[in-house]
Chain A
């Protein structure tokens, strides 16, 4: 479904992604971990073309992401994204945040879009906040709205870029719970996170990155019990033993 083939990316002289080969299948939950600056977020952001790859090929459902002929707006309808800092539209209500794209991009009627939005708000557990503004919500609630905003486009793929890193510890659980539900329902998910418990419980596969390379790919049990790479072992020992 998502295929990276020999992908490299440079920022000027600095190489952020090195020889990335990665295939993510439909319904799979792939968790990308690794130290800061290892290129995890960049990898994720290439998938919906927020970043442009320098060479190699990257396809989503067989469509080349970087190709000039590709209608990127059409491709993005099918790929929801959740950001570390939520990025809800502060001048719009929760409901308007969610209905905006379905109305403007998919051409849904206001009623249809609102019905769908309410349905997803219920799913993420904050239907009562539909008429609130983002600033009136806690971080965890804002992130759940952001997830609902992504889901309202009914995408096949959801990307999560450190969705819990900006949250108070108490609010992490409520966001992870929503993500777990999605995973169970068969959503294709690519998640950049430091939440090892989540990765272990939900991921079909762990991708470990360091310095722009994918060093290891494994199922969680294997990765956590017996990481092959020394760098992965060091990383795990640092984040698990504190």
Chain B
């Protein structure tokens, strides 16, 4: 039977960890969405150097373990654990979001760009006003899945003392020696976050499928 006193006596720590996990995830989501969109546009840009830069970023970052990236972010700057962890997550997730958005851009018919350009819009205007809004609508479901991954990956903040849910779990289990039960509660807190997200993504998928 689970030892619920672990939960009740350490509720403040759990909630503090939950709060930091949520904040870090939201900041990393926003950051990686902006960076990822920029990278996606670079990767399909007709300007070759931008193209290479975007491709190099995605290929390098995607193929390094996120744990290593979080370590680098921690060691490279004079940041606290939470900041470094959030930066690491942003850098890593941006590579995946870039690929999702690039796929979205590619799935918008080529004629949309041609129609926009033929009215005299610049490439940048056509991309921003005509192509990206269509592309992002298409990639909302895969972006939702990236967000769920991001929430789970945020547990890596623990290795740089980021103060998140996983980190609080480590502290509690070290203090109480009740290891198994502590991590069961940690897992339950993650589920409280991820299951609604997962249901939300499923709902969006269905709605978008219908509107098309």
Contacts and interface: CB of A to CB of B under 8 A. Distances in A.
A89 B116 CA distance: 9
A73 B120 contact: yes
Given A85-B109, A100-B121, A105-B121, 6 more contacts: A50-B118, A87-B112, A100-B130, A101-B119, A101-B120, A153-B120
Contacts of B133: 91
A73 B122 contact: yes
B40 to A, nearest CB: 18
Interface string A23-66: 00000000000000000000000001010000000000000000
A163 interface: no
B19 interface: no
A144 interface: no
Interface residues of B, number: 18
B115 interface: yes
B48 interface: no
10 A-B pairs with the lowest CB-CB distances in the bound complex, closest first: A101-B119, A87-B115, A77-B120, A87-B111, A81-B118, A105-B120, A76-B120, A73-B120, A91-B133, A48-B118
Interface of A: 48, 50, 73-74, 76-77, 79-81, 83, 85, 87-91, 100-101, 104-105, 146, 149-150, 153
Contact of A81 (B115, B122, B129, B137): B115
A91 B137 contact: yes
B125 A104 contact: yes
A83 B120 CA distance: 15
29 contacts: A48-B118, A50-B118, A73-B117, A73-B121, A76-B117, A76-B118, A76-B119, A80-B118, A80-B119, A81-B118, A83-B114, A83-B115, A85-B111, A88-B115, A89-B112, A89-B115, A90-B134, A100-B121, A100-B129, A100-B130, A101-B119, A101-B120, A101-B121, A104-B121, A105-B119, A105-B120, A150-B119, A153-B119, A153-B120
Contacts of A91: 133-134, 137
Nearest to B114: A50
A74 B120 contact: yes
A101 B129 CA distance: 11
Nearest to B109: A87
A73 B124 CA distance: 12
Nearest to B211: A135
A77 B114 CA distance: 13
Contacts of A101: 116, 119-121
